[in-house]
Amino acid sequence: MSWVFLVGDRVYKLKKPVRFPFLDFTTLKARAFFCREEVRLNRRLAPGVYLGLMALQWRDGAFAMVPEARLPLPASGETLDWLVCMQRLPESRMLHQLIAQGRVAPADIDALVAVLGAFYRAAPSVALSPNDYLARFQYGQAANREVLLRPQFGLPNAALAMDRLDAALMRHADLLHGRAAAGRVLDGHGDLRPEHVCLLAPPVVIDCLEFNAQLRQTDPFDELAYLSLECDLLGAPWIGPRLVSGCAAALGDAPPPALLQVYTAYRALVRARLCMAHLLDTQPRTPEKWPPLASRYIACALAALADLKNHQIPSVHLLHGSP
């Protein structure tokens, strides 16, 4: 959704003027608003990383980048667009890189738990009815079906995984209802995956979903199931249980295993759908990459649902390998 420019120790993000069902960046006003939202929301988990906004201006016949705080009132020059300015993070400390190198220690995950626990304790609860919360998963499943079951994709076991998750959502609707009724749906991160976690001291988490509040409104353990799934796929199955147990202790909240299994299966099918959606582009890049990766996510969903049937903790650790 953005063009990213790496300049020394800075990162500049310029939002693309695009429109999708879940966002609209087609006007300068909208891009300015969501740049400010990106900075505001991401400072919750990465306070020293998001430095502010830069105005891209045309001044005296030349382009200029001006920090928003230094713009005169009224601003001289024409503002052509807005960029988010970030401190560049060390790639070597990103969680997905450390997993690939086998360099993640339990203490690293405990430090991440401390950050996430404090974040979720401070996050405001979202006023959402139990039925509306369940409906979000049902709507998501409809979107999954629309993509994953297209005949031209021919994905093995996609229909089976979809049907089993639909049945699990019906069978465990009371668990989802209970989370919303108890105020456990919070204004969270929305895209909590290893590529967005940097294990500094303390850890920081970047790239939350600023452009759609509904996608950001989650049960913390839904987000943690997602991060656990991604770490497992990268080859670190031990991270998920440590994350979940640590955050459960930090939040005084112990969700039942069945809930975690439903969340894991749902997240896996959403990821499978996003993989295959790349092939719907006019000119998809690396088209050969997506079907095998989607199939791995479908296998993860089926594994979680099998664990659900057997009343076990979610486990997809037989599916290692870098996606």
- Are residue 187 and residue 301 in the same domain, yes or no? yes
How many domains are there within the chain? Answer: 2
- Are residue 181 and residue 244 in the same domain, yes or no? yes
* Separation of alpha carbons 315 and 307, rounded Å: 7
- Other CB atoms within 10 Å distance of the CB of residue 117: 18
202-250 per-position pLDDT tens digit: 999 999 999 999 999 999 999 999 999 999 999 999 999 999 999 999 9
* Separation of alpha carbons 279 and 287, rounded Å: 6
54, 88, 122 - which closes a domain: 88
41, 73, 88 - which closes a domain: 88
55, 72, 88 - which closes a domain: 88
Range of the domain at 201: 93-319
- Are residue 49 and residue 112 in the same domain, yes or no? no
- Let me know: does 39 contact 50? Beta carbons within 8 Å: yes
- Let me know: does 246 contact 110? Beta carbons within 8 Å: yes
- Let me know: does 298 contact 272? Beta carbons within 8 Å: yes
What residue type is assigned to position 246 of the chain?
Answer: G
What residue type is assigned to position 108 of the chain?
Answer: D
248-287 per-position pLDDT tens digit: 999 999 999 999 999 999 999 999 999 999 999 889 989 9
Give, in order, the Cα–Cα distances in Å from 140 to each of 69, 133, 148, 170, 268: 40, 11, 12, 14, 12
State the pLDDT confidence band at 323, using cuts at 50, 70 and 90: very low
Residue 139 class from Cβ within 10 Å (0-12 exposed, 13-18 middle, 19+ buried)?
exposed
CATH number, residue 240: 3.90.1200.10
**What φ, ψ does residue 223 adopt, rounded to 5°?**
-60, -40
Element holding 243 (H helix, E strand): helix 239-251
- Are residue 135 and residue 251 in the same domain, yes or no? yes
